[in-house]
Protein backbone atom coordinates (compact mmCIF):
# COMPACT_ATOMS: atom_id res chain seq x y z
CA UNK A 1 0.00 0.00 0.00
CA UNK A 2 2.80 2.37 0.94
CA UNK A 3 4.51 1.64 -2.38
CA UNK A 4 1.33 2.39 -4.33
CA UNK A 5 0.90 5.62 -2.38
CA UNK A 6 4.49 6.74 -3.05
CA UNK A 7 4.15 5.84 -6.71
CA UNK A 8 1.01 7.99 -6.95
CA UNK A 9 2.77 10.94 -5.34
CA UNK A 10 5.75 10.64 -7.68
CA UNK A 11 3.44 10.26 -10.66
CA UNK A 12 1.65 13.49 -9.79
CA UNK A 13 4.96 15.30 -9.38
CA UNK A 14 6.49 14.02 -12.61
CA UNK A 15 3.87 13.84 -15.30
CA UNK A 16 6.38 12.40 -17.74
CA UNK A 17 6.93 9.28 -15.65
CA UNK A 18 5.58 5.91 -16.63
CA UNK A 19 5.49 3.00 -14.23
CA UNK A 20 5.58 -0.71 -14.68
CA UNK A 21 5.47 -1.86 -11.08
CA UNK A 22 9.02 -2.59 -9.97
CA UNK A 23 10.47 -0.69 -12.93
CA UNK A 24 10.18 3.10 -12.67
CA UNK A 25 10.75 4.95 -15.93
CA UNK A 26 11.39 8.66 -16.20
CA UNK A 27 11.11 10.11 -19.70
CA UNK A 28 13.66 12.82 -20.55
CA UNK A 29 12.81 15.06 -23.50
CA UNK A 30 15.68 16.36 -25.62
CA UNK A 31 13.70 17.86 -28.50
CA UNK A 32 10.25 17.80 -30.08
CA UNK A 33 9.53 19.00 -33.58
CA UNK A 34 8.55 17.97 -37.08
CA UNK A 35 10.33 15.89 -39.74
CA UNK A 36 9.68 15.67 -43.47
CA UNK A 37 8.09 12.51 -44.90
CA UNK A 38 10.95 12.48 -47.43
CA UNK A 39 12.87 10.64 -44.68
CA UNK A 40 10.70 7.55 -45.17
CA UNK A 41 11.76 4.72 -47.48
CA UNK A 42 9.78 1.62 -48.59
CA UNK A 43 6.69 3.84 -48.59
CA UNK A 44 4.46 5.14 -51.37
CA UNK A 45 3.37 8.78 -51.51
CA UNK A 46 -0.21 7.58 -51.02
CA UNK A 47 0.74 5.76 -47.82
CA UNK A 48 2.73 8.75 -46.55
CA UNK A 49 -0.14 11.18 -47.13
CA UNK A 50 -2.59 8.78 -45.48
CA UNK A 51 -0.73 9.17 -42.16
CA UNK A 52 0.78 12.63 -42.65
CA UNK A 53 -1.41 14.74 -44.98
CA UNK A 54 0.72 17.83 -44.29
CA UNK A 55 3.93 16.06 -45.32
CA UNK A 56 5.32 16.64 -41.81
CA UNK A 57 5.70 13.99 -39.11
CA UNK A 58 5.85 14.57 -35.34
CA UNK A 59 9.39 13.77 -34.23
CA UNK A 60 11.14 13.72 -30.89
CA UNK A 61 14.39 12.75 -29.25
CA UNK A 62 14.07 11.14 -25.82
CA UNK A 63 16.26 9.43 -23.26
CA UNK A 64 15.12 7.36 -20.28
CA UNK A 65 16.19 7.20 -16.66
CA UNK A 66 15.10 3.84 -15.28
CA UNK A 67 15.10 2.71 -11.64
CA UNK A 68 14.66 -0.92 -10.66
CA UNK A 69 16.01 -3.35 -8.07
CA UNK A 70 18.16 -0.68 -6.43
CA UNK A 71 19.75 0.35 -9.73
CA UNK A 72 19.53 3.59 -11.69
CA UNK A 73 20.41 3.56 -15.37
CA UNK A 74 20.43 6.27 -18.01
CA UNK A 75 19.54 4.91 -21.44
CA UNK A 76 21.06 7.18 -24.12
CA UNK A 77 21.99 10.81 -23.63
CA UNK A 78 20.34 12.95 -26.33
CA UNK A 79 22.36 15.54 -28.26
CA UNK A 80 25.77 17.07 -27.56
CA UNK A 81 25.52 19.81 -24.90
CA UNK A 82 21.81 19.04 -24.85
CA UNK A 83 18.88 19.08 -22.51
CA UNK A 84 19.14 15.72 -20.73
CA UNK A 85 21.16 16.93 -17.69
CA UNK A 86 18.55 19.70 -17.20
CA UNK A 87 15.73 17.18 -17.55
CA UNK A 88 17.38 15.03 -14.88
CA UNK A 89 17.93 18.07 -12.63
CA UNK A 90 14.22 18.91 -12.87
CA UNK A 91 13.65 15.53 -11.25
CA UNK A 92 16.31 16.12 -8.57
CA UNK A 93 18.86 13.83 -10.21
CA UNK A 94 22.25 15.59 -10.44
CA UNK A 95 24.40 14.41 -13.40
CA UNK A 96 27.06 13.31 -10.88
CA UNK A 97 24.61 10.67 -9.61
CA UNK A 98 24.54 8.87 -12.96
CA UNK A 99 26.85 5.86 -12.62
CA UNK A 100 25.67 3.71 -15.52
CA UNK A 101 24.81 4.73 -19.07
CA UNK A 102 23.62 2.13 -21.59
CA UNK A 103 23.82 3.30 -25.20
CA UNK A 104 21.43 1.79 -27.77
CA UNK A 105 23.61 2.92 -30.70
CA UNK A 106 26.16 5.56 -31.65
CA UNK A 107 24.10 8.10 -33.56
CA UNK A 108 24.55 11.75 -32.45
CA UNK A 109 21.05 11.96 -30.91
CA UNK A 110 21.91 9.04 -28.61
CA UNK A 111 25.57 9.34 -27.58
CA UNK A 112 26.05 13.09 -28.29
CA UNK A 113 24.87 14.19 -24.84
CA UNK A 114 27.78 12.38 -23.19
CA UNK A 115 29.71 15.64 -23.63
CA UNK A 116 29.14 19.39 -23.45
CA UNK A 117 30.14 22.00 -26.05
CA UNK A 118 33.78 21.82 -24.86
CA UNK A 119 33.82 18.05 -25.23
CA UNK A 120 33.89 17.52 -21.45
CA UNK A 121 31.80 14.78 -19.82
CA UNK A 122 28.25 15.67 -18.79
CA UNK A 123 28.12 12.65 -16.45
CA UNK A 124 31.54 12.62 -14.78
CA UNK A 125 30.97 9.49 -12.67
CA UNK A 126 29.41 7.27 -15.29
CA UNK A 127 30.55 4.10 -16.99
CA UNK A 128 29.30 3.80 -20.56
CA UNK A 129 28.19 0.50 -22.09
CA UNK A 130 28.16 -0.01 -25.88
CA UNK A 131 27.77 -3.21 -27.93
CA UNK A 132 30.93 -4.63 -29.53
CA UNK A 133 29.63 -4.48 -33.13
CA UNK A 134 28.49 -0.88 -32.64
CA UNK A 135 31.89 0.16 -31.25
CA UNK A 136 33.68 -1.74 -34.01
CA UNK A 137 31.68 0.02 -36.73
CA UNK A 138 31.95 3.64 -35.53
CA UNK A 139 35.37 3.58 -33.88
CA UNK A 140 37.47 1.06 -35.82
CA UNK A 141 35.77 1.02 -39.24
CA UNK A 142 34.48 4.59 -39.75
CA UNK A 143 36.92 6.21 -37.29
CA UNK A 144 34.16 8.68 -36.42
CA UNK A 145 35.77 11.65 -34.66
CA UNK A 146 32.71 12.69 -32.62
CA UNK A 147 32.21 9.15 -31.30
CA UNK A 148 35.89 8.61 -30.51
CA UNK A 149 36.31 11.91 -28.66
CA UNK A 150 33.09 11.51 -26.63
CA UNK A 151 33.85 7.92 -25.61
CA UNK A 152 37.43 8.89 -24.70
CA UNK A 153 35.97 10.89 -21.77
CA UNK A 154 34.58 7.73 -20.18
CA UNK A 155 35.34 4.29 -18.92
CA UNK A 156 33.72 2.36 -21.79
CA UNK A 157 32.59 -1.24 -21.37
CA UNK A 158 31.77 -3.36 -24.40
CA UNK A 159 29.19 -6.14 -24.39
CA UNK A 160 28.00 -8.82 -26.81
CA UNK A 161 24.39 -9.43 -27.88
CA UNK A 162 22.79 -11.82 -25.41
CA UNK A 163 24.95 -10.65 -22.50
CA UNK A 164 23.49 -9.60 -19.19
CA UNK A 165 25.01 -6.11 -19.47
CA UNK A 166 24.31 -5.16 -15.88
CA UNK A 167 22.23 -7.09 -13.38
CA UNK A 168 18.71 -7.53 -14.74
CA UNK A 169 19.39 -6.03 -18.18
CA UNK A 170 19.90 -8.21 -21.24
CA UNK A 171 21.21 -6.98 -24.61
CA UNK A 172 18.93 -7.95 -27.52
CA UNK A 173 20.35 -8.08 -31.05
CA UNK A 174 18.43 -5.47 -33.04
CA UNK A 175 21.07 -4.71 -35.66
CA UNK A 176 19.96 -2.97 -38.84
CA UNK A 177 19.36 0.68 -38.03
CA UNK A 178 23.06 0.49 -37.15
CA UNK A 179 25.30 -2.63 -37.10
CA UNK A 180 25.32 -2.91 -33.31
CA UNK A 181 21.95 -1.41 -32.48
CA UNK A 182 20.81 -2.84 -29.14
CA UNK A 183 17.47 -3.13 -27.39
CA UNK A 184 17.69 -3.70 -23.64
CA UNK A 185 15.32 -6.08 -21.85
CA UNK A 186 14.95 -5.12 -18.18
CA UNK A 187 13.52 -7.62 -15.72
CA UNK A 188 12.83 -6.84 -12.06
CA UNK A 189 10.49 -8.62 -9.66
CA UNK A 190 8.41 -10.04 -12.51
CA UNK A 191 8.10 -6.69 -14.30
CA UNK A 192 9.68 -6.13 -17.69
CA UNK A 193 10.48 -3.26 -20.01
CA UNK A 194 12.20 -3.18 -23.38
CA UNK A 195 14.23 -0.02 -24.01
CA UNK A 196 14.22 -0.35 -27.77
CA UNK A 197 16.23 2.62 -29.03
CA UNK A 198 15.47 3.34 -32.67
CA UNK A 199 13.40 0.23 -33.34
CA UNK A 200 11.04 2.72 -34.97
CA UNK A 201 11.21 6.44 -35.70
CA UNK A 202 7.68 7.37 -36.77
CA UNK A 203 5.26 5.03 -34.97
CA UNK A 204 2.10 6.43 -36.58
CA UNK A 205 3.13 4.88 -39.90
CA UNK A 206 5.67 2.23 -38.84
CA UNK A 207 3.48 0.37 -36.32
CA UNK A 208 0.74 -0.46 -38.85
CA UNK A 209 3.32 -0.70 -41.69
CA UNK A 210 6.48 -2.16 -40.13
CA UNK A 211 8.16 -2.53 -43.56
CA UNK A 212 8.46 1.26 -43.82
CA UNK A 213 12.06 2.24 -43.04
CA UNK A 214 13.98 5.50 -42.73
CA UNK A 215 16.94 6.97 -44.60
CA UNK A 216 19.12 6.71 -41.47
CA UNK A 217 18.88 2.90 -41.45
CA UNK A 218 22.35 1.55 -42.31
CA UNK A 219 20.74 -1.75 -43.37
CA UNK A 220 16.99 -1.15 -43.95
CA UNK A 221 16.21 -4.85 -44.56
CA UNK A 222 17.71 -5.86 -41.22
CA UNK A 223 16.15 -2.82 -39.52
CA UNK A 224 12.71 -4.03 -40.62
CA UNK A 225 13.47 -7.57 -39.37
CA UNK A 226 14.62 -6.21 -36.00
CA UNK A 227 11.53 -4.00 -35.69
CA UNK A 228 9.26 -7.00 -36.27
CA UNK A 229 11.31 -9.18 -33.90
CA UNK A 230 11.00 -6.70 -31.00
CA UNK A 231 7.35 -5.81 -31.64
CA UNK A 232 6.36 -9.49 -32.04
CA UNK A 233 8.17 -10.32 -28.80
CA UNK A 234 6.67 -7.36 -26.93
CA UNK A 235 3.16 -8.18 -28.21
CA UNK A 236 3.53 -11.87 -27.33
CA UNK A 237 4.87 -11.26 -23.82
CA UNK A 238 2.89 -8.07 -23.08
CA UNK A 239 6.04 -6.08 -22.41
CA UNK A 240 5.99 -2.27 -22.67
CA UNK A 241 8.36 -0.79 -25.23
CA UNK A 242 10.25 2.45 -24.60
CA UNK A 243 11.52 4.15 -27.76
CA UNK A 244 13.69 7.23 -28.16
CA UNK A 245 11.50 8.57 -30.99
CA UNK A 246 8.04 7.66 -29.70
CA UNK A 247 5.72 10.52 -28.68
CA UNK A 248 6.31 11.31 -24.97
CA UNK A 249 6.13 9.61 -22.57
CA UNK A 250 7.65 7.31 -25.18
CA UNK A 251 6.50 4.03 -23.63
CA UNK A 252 3.83 1.99 -25.43
CA UNK A 253 2.13 -1.41 -25.24
CA UNK A 254 1.60 -3.05 -28.61
CA UNK A 255 -0.51 -5.84 -30.02
CA UNK A 256 -0.55 -7.43 -33.47
CA UNK A 257 -3.06 -5.94 -35.88
CA UNK A 258 -3.43 -6.71 -39.59
CA UNK A 259 0.01 -6.86 -41.18
CA UNK A 260 1.48 -4.81 -38.37
CA UNK A 261 0.81 -3.62 -34.86
CA UNK A 262 -1.23 -1.13 -32.92
CA UNK A 263 -0.98 0.51 -29.53
CA UNK A 264 -3.39 -0.49 -26.80
What backbone phi and psi angles, to 5 degrees, belong to 110? Answer: -120, -45
CB of 244 to Zn ion, least distance (A): 5
Phi and psi, residue 125, nearest 5°: -105, 15
7 — phi, psi (to 5°)?
A: -60, -40
Out of 24, 109, 134, 187, name the contact with Zn ion by CB under 5 A: 109
82/112 Cα distance (integer angstroms): 8
The least distance separating Zn ion from the CB of residue 50, rounded to whole angstroms, comes to: 24
Stretch that binds Zn ion, among 16-24, 41-49, 90-98, 195-203 (CB under 5 A): 195-203
# residues near Zn ion by CB under 5 A: 2
By CB neighbour count within 10 A (0-12 exposed, 13-18 middle, 19+ buried), where does 173 fall? middle
For Zn ion, give the closer residue by CB, 25 or 60.
60
29-68 footprint of Zn ion as x/- string (CB under 5 A): ----------------------------------------
Measured from the CB atom, the residue of 68 and 137 that comes closer to Zn ion is 137
Shortest distance, position 2 Cβ to Zn ion, whole Å: 38
User: Closer CB to Zn ion, residue 65 or residue 181?
Assistant: 181
Closest CB 76 distance from Zn ion, rounded Å: 8
Question: Is the CB of 115 or the CB of 199 nearer to Zn ion?
Answer: 199
Looking at beta carbons only, is 175 or 188 nearer to Zn ion?
A: 175
* Contact with Zn ion (CB under 5 A) among 87, 134, 198, 217: 198
* E runs forming strands in the chain: 17-20, 23-36, 40-41, 56-68, 71-75, 100-102, 127-131, 155-159, 164-166, 169-173, 182-188, 191-195, 213-214, 241-242, 251-252, 254-257, 260-263
Closest C-alpha to 248, from 31, 65, 36: 31
Spatial contact of 17 and 64, defined as CB atoms under 8 Å apart: no
Cis peptide preceding 249, ω within 30 of 0: yes
- The region of 125-133, 168-176, 182-190, 191-199 touching Zn ion under the rule CB under 5 A is 191-199
Instruction: Name which of 100 and 178 has its Cβ closer to Zn ion.
Output: 178
Residue 134 interacts with Zn ion (CB under 5 A): yes or no: no
Q: Shortest distance, CB of residue 109 to Zn ion, whole angstroms?
A: 4
Nearer to Zn ion, 168 or 203 (CB): 203
Cα radius of gyration (the chain):
18
Identify whether the C-beta of residue 151 lies closer than 8 Å to the C-beta of residue 207: no
What is the binding site for Zn ion (CB under 5 A)? 109, 198
Amino acid sequence: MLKVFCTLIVFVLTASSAFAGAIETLTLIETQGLSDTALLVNSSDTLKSQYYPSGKMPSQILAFHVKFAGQEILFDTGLKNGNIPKELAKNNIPPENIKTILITHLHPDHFGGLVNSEGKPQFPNAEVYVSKPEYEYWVNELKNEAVISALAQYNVKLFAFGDEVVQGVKAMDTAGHTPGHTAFLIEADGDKLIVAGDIMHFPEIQLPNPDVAVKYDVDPVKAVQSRKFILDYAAWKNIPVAGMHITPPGVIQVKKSGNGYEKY
